[in-house]
Amino acid sequence: MAGGKHRVEIGFEGGQVVPARLDDGSLKDLRKAIGTSGSHQLESEGETLILDPGKVIFVRILADEGRVGFQAD
C-alpha cells in the first residue's frame, strides 16, 4: 500500500457495504480493530464513521488508479 488515501469498502454481517476513503493510519487502525467488541471511529474525507468492528466481515482495498480526464495511448 502506497502512502496517501485508500478507497475501501467495509462489509458487515447482513450484507451492508460502506464505502470510505481512509488514510494509512485509519486503515491500519481499522485492520487492528476488526473482530474486537465495542465501537470504533474512523475519519473519512469529510465524514466520521462509527462502527462495530466485531460485525465487519471484510475490508476491500480498491486500486486507486489516480487518473482524471483523458489518457494518451
Condensed to tens digits (0 to 9), the pLDDT of residues 17-71 reads 999 999 999 999 999 999 999 999 998 888 999 999 999 999 999 986 665 666 5
pLDDT of 73 over the 60 cut: no
The backbone torsions φ and ψ at residue 45, rounded to the nearest 5 degrees and listed phi first, read -25, 100
Helix, strand, or coil (residue 45): coil
CA distance 36 to 62: 24
CATH of region 5-62, choose from 1.20.1690, 2.30.30, 3.40.50, 1.10.3470? 2.30.30
User: Given this model, what pLDDT does residue 3 score?
Assistant: 67
For the chain, what are the domain ranges? 5-62
Beta bridge partners of 56: 12
pLDDT of 1 over the 60 cut: no
Beta-strand runs (E) in 13-72: 17-23, 40-44, 47-51, 56-62
User: Given this model, what pLDDT does residue 15 score?
Assistant: 95
Helix, strand, or coil (residue 29): helix
